[in-house]
Amino acid sequence: MLQADIQLRLSRLDLDAAFTVASGEVVALLGPNGSGKSTILRALTGLLPLAGGRVVLDDTVLEDPAQGVMVQPEKRPIALMFQDYLLFPHMNAVENVAFGLRSRGTDKKTAREKASQTLARLDLSKVAEAKPGAMSGGQQQRVAMARALVTDPKLLLLDEPLAALDVSIKTSVRRLLRGVLSQSKAANILVTHDLLDAVALGDRMIVIENGAIVQTGTPGEVTARPRSSYVADLTGVNLLRGTAHGAVLELDGGGQIFCAGHATGPTLAVIAPAAVAVSRQRPEGRECNTWQGKVNAVDLMGDRVRVHIDGTPAITAEVPPAAVDQLKLDDGGDLWAFVEPAAITTYPQ
Amino acid sequence: MAKVKLPFNPVLALLAALAALFFIFPLIGLIAGAPWGHVASVITSKTAVQALELSIIASLSSTAIAIVFGFPLAWLLARGRFPGKGVLRGLTTLPMVLPPVVGGIALLLAYGRKGFIGKPLESATGITLPFTLLGVIVAESFVAMPFFVITVESGLRSMNRRLEDAARSLGAGRRTVFTRVTLPLIWPSLAAGTVLTWARALGEFGATITFAGNLPGVTQTMPLAIYISQSSNMTDEAIALSLILVLVSLVVMIFRRDRSGAG
């Protein structure tokens, strides 16, 4: 079990994040570029010393600046798989994988045997003697995975393990990774900015923005009730913030909407784009949740079209492709949006 | 790696051929002009054997010095963070562009018998540098070491340092990181720097003759012996001695290219 409280002062970012990861659990660390995800991993390995906070792994204090405790990176039972793999170019696959074992004192023969077995488990036996430069990206990725797994770490850190892969093999490698992680007894942290990776691989999600944790929960909870516009954008829903007075939600950016539920205080509201109806004329007989804005952008998403409307509030609607022509959305101009109160999900901030 | 077939460009080919011939012609001149009748007697003469011996001892010694002292300096220049680093780099690599004879005079003023280092050195240890083999080695090191420093520094700079992070995160201590990751990765620079330094030391003339003089059997290295033969109208000797240096250098360059796989 990992208990981490990471405080760092960097030139472009102040990081302050406390979280725990149970042994055998997979936590997906999700956040936009530059939010501090990879920095957290570097800090956990000890490559980036903490300014404050504490890192405890299985009851061993690895780092505690206030107490002057700093276990060097090479002494930590942690494995990090780097986003760009960082395989040693002058070593073949077996030597790369055996490196961690050799460094930690395993004899050469045993290390090579264990490395070969791990490579075989990841279906890499045929490139065992090849150097990274002669491998495909997918093979390099799996060798990097083998190199991280072979030392039986107590904490396994995966930095965007699928990001550099070709789309064509991403699915199969994700499946492979899920199999590997499901057998892992380590505390596992997976850094990603791909919601699909986080949902498919993570038992729990931690969303981080600007160096701070903005939400934690199961993938289901986080996607159903996003607390940040970053996650809302990933799942493609509209997220509105405001203060609720009964059924009325006064929005932070101006405007108000009427919701089916009753609440008070700071509240978040999620509206699926498909629940937003649009028309060129003011909808008749509807008083509430009807407002006007300007067409900002029109995007094709699969067989649906998303219309972004600049209004108070700004909102994204999903319409069938035929509507683009019928409503002449490409011309821009004013558009009315309408949302049924029953289609709005609210929850406290 | 895929071979890209370049379209034939006659201008490019002509210029490249001229460049190649420019280097080949002097070699042909040496070979054609060599006094093949008595090359054997010249190169087994006392002067030649002594000079070759001195050249090899001095060039290898100064190469060793360049590695032992130059590597830490290259490391500091590549990885260190301190004020005045640029100035330090400029000063320590100045001999690369300085006329060697100027270097020789500067060496005399510092390490000569009356030099501000040489004088106390002599009174403390009895060691004098000018007109000794040690002086030859000092002169050659002064001129040649910068080649090692600058080559290794650029090798250290261009290597991906995150590979060292990766090694540490895999449990390697600093020493293991250095021997198993850093050294193998900068190996090509180390090899190139060593060969360049050695070649520069072997050919060193100006600083050597200025600082260490031209004593046969003591400080007269091959380039000095060649120059003396040439200037005292013993052209045959000069050519024969030159052929030896050409042969030695050629063997090393070919060996190096084969080893590094760059050929």
A207 & A293 share domain = no
Q: Is A86 on the interface with B (CB under 8 A)?
A: yes
How do residues B84-109 score in pLDDT, each as one tens digit?
A: 999 999 999 899 999 999 999 999 99
Contact assignment for B170 to A99 by CB distance below 8 Å: yes
Looking at A229, A253, A279, the residue that finishes a domain is A229
User: Per DSSP, which regions of chain A are E strands?
Assistant: 2-9, 14-21, 26-30, 52-57, 60-64, 69-70, 78-81, 155-159, 187-192, 204-209, 212-217, 238-251, 256-271, 276-279, 290-301, 304-311, 315-319, 334-339, 344-348
How do residues A305-349 score in pLDDT, each as one tens digit?
A: 999 999 889 999 998 888 888 888 888 889 999 998 888 888 888
Angle subtended at Cα A264 by Cα A251 and Cα A278, rounded to the nearest 5 degrees = 35
A123 & A202 share domain = yes
Contact assignment for B170 to A79 by CB distance below 8 Å: yes
Q: How confident is the model at residue B3 (pLDDT cuts 50, 70, 90)?
A: low
A221 & A243 share domain = no
A117 & A132 share domain = yes
Collect all residues of chain A within an 8 Å Cβ-Cβ radius of residue B163.
86, 88-89
Domain carrying residue A209: 2-229
The CA distance from B118 to the nearest CA of chain A, in Å, is 46
Looking at A207, A229, A251, the residue that finishes a domain is A229
pLDDT (0 to 100) of residue B259 = 52
Residue B174 has pLDDT above 80, yes or no: yes
8 Å CB contact between A210 and A12: no
CA atoms in the 13 A half-sphere facing the CB of B154: 11
CA B48, CA B56: separation in Å to the nearest integer? 12
CA A149, CA B101: separation in Å to the nearest integer? 60
Collect all residues of chain A within an 8 Å Cβ-Cβ radius of residue B169.
45, 47, 73-74, 78-80
Residue A260 has pLDDT above 90, yes or no: no
Q: Is A36 on the interface with B (CB under 8 A)?
A: no
CA A165, CA A169: separation in Å to the nearest integer? 7
> For the ranges A189-198, A224-233, A280-289, which has the lowest average pLDDT?
A280-289
A122 & A262 share domain = no
A225 & A251 share domain = no
Listed in sequence order, the residues at least 6 apart from A317 whose beta carbon sits closer than 8 Å to its beta carbon are A273, A276, A277, A278, A306, A307, A309, A337
**Phi, psi for residue A26 in degrees, rounded to 5:** -115, 115
Collect all residues of chain B within an 8 Å Cβ-Cβ radius of residue A104.
171
Collect all residues of chain B within an 8 Å Cβ-Cβ radius of residue A89.
163, 185
A196 & A285 share domain = no
A240 & A342 share domain = yes
- Only one residue has tokens 């100006």, namely B206
What are the tokens at A57? Answer: 């792994």
- Only one residue has tokens 């999600």, namely A205
A201 & A64 share domain = yes
In a domain, B2, yes or no: no
**Phi, psi for residue A339 in degrees, rounded to 5:** -130, 130
Looking at A182, A212, A229, the residue that finishes a domain is A229
Collect all residues of chain A within an 8 Å Cβ-Cβ radius of residue B166.
80, 82, 86, 88
Listed in sequence order, the residues at least 6 apart from A59 whose beta carbon sits closer than 8 Å to its beta carbon are none
How do residues A205-243 score in pLDDT, each as one tens digit?
A: 999 999 999 999 999 889 888 988 888 888 888 899 899
How do residues A57-106 score in pLDDT, each as one tens digit?
A: 999 999 999 999 999 999 999 999 999 999 999 999 999 999 999 999 89
- DSSP SS3 for A288: coil
Residue A193 has pLDDT above 60, yes or no: yes
8 Å CB contact between A27 and A188: yes
The CA distance from A144 to the nearest CA of chain B, in Å, is 11
Would you list which residues of chain B are within 8 Å, Cβ to Cβ, of chain A? 160, 162-163, 165-173, 176, 180-181, 184-185
Contact assignment for B184 to A90 by CB distance below 8 Å: yes
Within 10 A of A256 (CB to CB), how many other CB atoms are there? 16
Helix, strand, coil share (%) of chain B residues, nearest 5: 80, 0, 20
Predicted ipTM beyond 0.95: no
The CATH code of the domain that includes A156 is 3.40.50.300
Q: How confident is the model at residue B261 (pLDDT cuts 50, 70, 90)?
A: very low
Which pTM does this prediction carry? 0.80
pLDDT (0 to 100) of residue B263 = 33
In a domain, B240, yes or no: no
How do residues B107-133 score in pLDDT, each as one tens digit?
A: 999 999 999 999 999 999 999 999 999
A–B CB contacts, 8 A cutoff, strictly below: 52
A79 & A211 share domain = yes
Q: Which of A74, A99, A100 sits opposite B173 (nearest CB)?
A: A74
Contact assignment for A88 to B163 by CB distance below 8 Å: yes
Burial of B112 (0-12, 13-18, 19+ CB in 10 A): buried
In a domain, B232, yes or no: no
Identify any residues that bridge with A209 across adjacent strands, giving them in sequence order.
A212
In a domain, B249, yes or no: no
Contact assignment for B172 to A80 by CB distance below 8 Å: no
8 Å CB contact between B205 and B140: no
Q: Which of A42, A47, A48, A85 to mutate to test the interface with B (most CBs of B within 10 A)?
A: A47
The CATH code of the domain that includes B92 is 1.10.3720.10
Q: Which of B170, B172, B185 sits opposite A90 (nearest CB)?
A: B185
In a domain, B243, yes or no: no
The CATH code of the domain that includes A266 is 2.40.50.100
CA B59, CA B201: separation in Å to the nearest integer? 5
What are the tokens at A167? Answer: 């789309």
**Phi, psi for residue B45 in degrees, rounded to 5:** -65, 160
Q: How many domains does chain A have?
A: 2
Contact assignment for B173 to A103 by CB distance below 8 Å: yes
Q: Compute the mean pLDDT over every residue in chain A, rounded to the nearest whole number.
A: 91
Identify any residues that bridge with A290 across adjacent strands, giving them in sequence order.
A338
pLDDT (0 to 100) of residue A2 = 95
8 Å CB contact between A218 and A203: yes
Domain carrying residue B149: 55-217
Collect all residues of chain B within an 8 Å Cβ-Cβ radius of residue A100.
170-171
Contact assignment for B169 to A104 by CB distance below 8 Å: no
A268 & A342 share domain = yes
pLDDT (0 to 100) of residue A54 = 95
A6 & A148 share domain = yes
Q: How many domains does chain B have?
A: 1
In a domain, B236, yes or no: no
Q: How confident is the model at residue A303 (pLDDT cuts 50, 70, 90)?
A: confident
